[in-house]
Amino acid sequence: MEILLKKDVANLGYAGEIVKVKSGYALNYLVPQGFASVATESVKKQYAETLRQRAHKEAKLVADAEALAAKIEGKTVQVAVKVSESGKIYGSVTTAQLAEALAAAGIEVDKKDITILAEDVKELGTYEGSVKIYKQIKAAFSFEVVAE
């Protein structure tokens, strides 16, 4: 029996997919729980149209993400931090500070999407970072830690 999944179901598929399952599993569990609906011809046509529209939106999202990645790639930003007399940083540089530095450079990204490639940033210098923009699209940038 073919069903259209309304929600993600572990070991079966993701929301919006048409999958084949045994009729007892579909009619006794998936449909009553609201996880799926029976895939009739009209549902299949609607699903095909949804896929077509989603492909168009996906292409636009990927193009926007690649444009942002090109803007970030190779960029160097400065992060000003408080430093002790011996040159060590009080605390360490965080992704929130990097998000603020990128925002000051005109690039808005979420701090959750930033990864610092060094283990700990506790000294002045230049380090590498990465931003996950969309699914498999990432951009690398460098940041320089300077004294306030």
Render pLDDT for 22-75 as a digit per residue (tens, 0 to 9): 999 999 999 999 999 999 999 889 888 888 888 888 899 899 999 999 999 989
Beta-bridge partners for 131: 114, 139
Would you state the pLDDT for residue 48? 87
3-state secondary structure of 46: helix
Domains of the chain with CATH codes: 2-64 (3.40.5.10), 69-147 (3.10.430.100)
Q: Is the pLDDT score of 1 beyond 90? A: yes
Please report the DSSP string for 88-118 in residue order.
BBSS---HHHHHHHHHHTT----GGGEEESS
